[in-house]
Structure 1
């Protein structure tokens, strides 16, 4: 279920950000060495993400950790996610950084899972892929959350895919077929994706041999019309609906004939609440 775990160097940075000169309160109270127990639980239903990072943070501060819900798990309210035992100094040093990271990533993962479920209700083979429009500096964590929610990555960077926008075409003095041929000569193993604004433009690039036609801000009816026009096509391209795609309309676009739903919506999903309890360590189960 877990796509990958963020490196310790990144987790150390997050921990240090919250305790640059230590934990003043725990130090002043003189409780840093006391044995403590901390349990993270789901407050509401969620698709979990970031539990491996929370666990790793605990280990970096010398805590014993039990990971109950790996990323990608669908957790019910009150279900334990991660538990930590060890000195109170380590517990308090890890608490907010680990909790907050899990809340944000679980929000993205839950939003992605809801969108995937909606798309598959419209058509079981429709895929959901997320753009690279995550908050700058959070790409690795955000992509992990998207994958944990069952979606895929549309493009991780400009280096990864061939996606021709209108903004490219304004600077190219070549016919569509020549553009596609040039792209294939330079990057023969990569599909050619072209974003189009209307039906006529889509047909021009389909005739030119594009592998994927991205339909930017098309209505459901317009997507259905293009799919109908391709019914007799011997090698139809894949159709990717993009722009304004969310859980409320995903099923409609999937039913209309979109093979892919391209979206940024999960990145803006609200965080999922992770409840935290900290007690003296009694050795009890969560």
Structure 2
């Protein structure tokens, strides 16, 4: 279990935008049936074991609509099949307005969190101290929730975005004419407090990055066997650098193999593409 008491609560404006996507100009069906004023209750429960995330957002949306929260689990908790996640009471108009978006947010975020937890568990069963980190390749417009879910799954964040870290890709070198060593030096002059990471696609590139003084060498789409061979032979400086990260195609199925290869970090986008977890909803008259 990896609860997230430190993660900031969702902004009210963000929750309102989510609700507007679904509610729009109101709930025509509930209005047409004339049932909006009737008291009701709604409960959300896990259909199968999962790592939870998005519960705070779901509860926040329902509370904004006027519902009263009875019970709310926390992101980062593990739920068994049939276990209650969230329960609220309120008028039928409120419950119907918030029901689907609350369910959607929790199902999506819990899918990301559960996949991240599976990768972390598989990797650390082999290498207990290995770092598992997620990339910035989250679903468009869903980065904040996606990163929260990755943390709920026990992973860490590789990059928040282009602004917060230095990662030199081969695509950068297509424009930079002073060689990789020059690129590393240029990055250090501008951002001396940041580690300089270099992505490579083959062994020769990894050796060149090491010689250039890279702090982190990111192996893009290396097989576990190729990563293991490089980890055994790549010379390291007295400070233990360069650290080696395996990236590109890391999933729960191969995380153990990459961890056994002896790399320092696993860098993955796989959690962001995880299948949403199924959450059961019961909405009834109070």
Deviation at 1:221, TM superposition (A): 1.5
1:24 aligns with 2:28: yes
Aligned length: 281
In the other structure, the counterpart of 1:106 is: 110
CA distance in 2, matches of 1:259, 1:274: 35
Deviation at 1:6, TM superposition (A): 2.4
1:114 aligns to what SS in structure 2? helix
Structure 2 gap ranges (5+): none
2:139 paired residue number? 135
Distance 2:126 2:227 in 1: 14
Which secondary structure state, in structure 1, belongs to the residue aligned with residue 204 of structure 2? helix
2:233 aligns with 229
Show structure 1 runs of 5+ residues with no match.
282-286
Q: Where does residue 43 of structure 1 map in the other structure?
A: 47
Residues of 2 paired with 1:263 and 1:196: CA distance? 16
Q: Deviations over 1:104-151 (max 9, x none)?
A: 111111111101111111201111111111121111111111111111
Match of 1:263 in 2: 268
CA contact (8 A) 1:6 1:140 kept: no
Residue 122 of structure 1 aligns to a residue in which SS?
Answer: coil
Contact residue 115 and residue 246 of structure 1 kept, 8 A: yes
- Between the aligned partners of 1:71 and 1:80, the Cα distance in structure 2 is 13
Does the 8 Å contact 2:133/2:155 carry over to 1? yes
Contact 2:138–2:146 under 8 Å retained in 1: yes
Residue in 1 that maps onto 2:157: 153
Is 1:61 aligned to residue 46 of structure 2? no
43-52 or 172-181, larger mean C-alpha shift = 172-181
The normalised TM-score by structure 1 is 0.94
Out of 78, 81, 86, the residue aligned to residue 82 of structure 1 is: 86
- Answer whether contact 1:212 1:237 (CA < 8 A) is retained: yes
Which whole-Å deviations, capped at 9, do the CAs of 1:227-274 have from their partners, x for residues lacking one?
Answer: 111467533311000111111110111111111111111111111011
Q: Distance in 2 between matches of 1:138 and 1:159?
A: 18
Q: Give 1:200 shift.
A: 2.1
* CA distance in structure 1 between the aligned counterparts of 2:24 and 2:232, rounded to whole angstroms: 60
Q: 1:199 aligns with which of 174, 197, 203?
A: 203
CA distance in 1, matches of 2:235, 2:217: 15
Please give the secondary structure, in 2, of the residue aligned with 1:240. Answer: strand
Per the alignment, residue 249 of structure 1 pairs with 254
- C-alpha contact 1:4 1:144 (8 A) present in aligned 2: no
* TM-score normalised by the chain length of structure 2: 0.94
User: Post-superposition shift, 1:176?
Assistant: 2.6
- For 1:121, the equivalent position in structure 2 comes to 125
Does the 8 A contact of 1:52 with 1:67 survive in 2?
A: no
> Cα 1:188–1:231, aligned 2, differ >3 Å: closer, same or farther?
closer
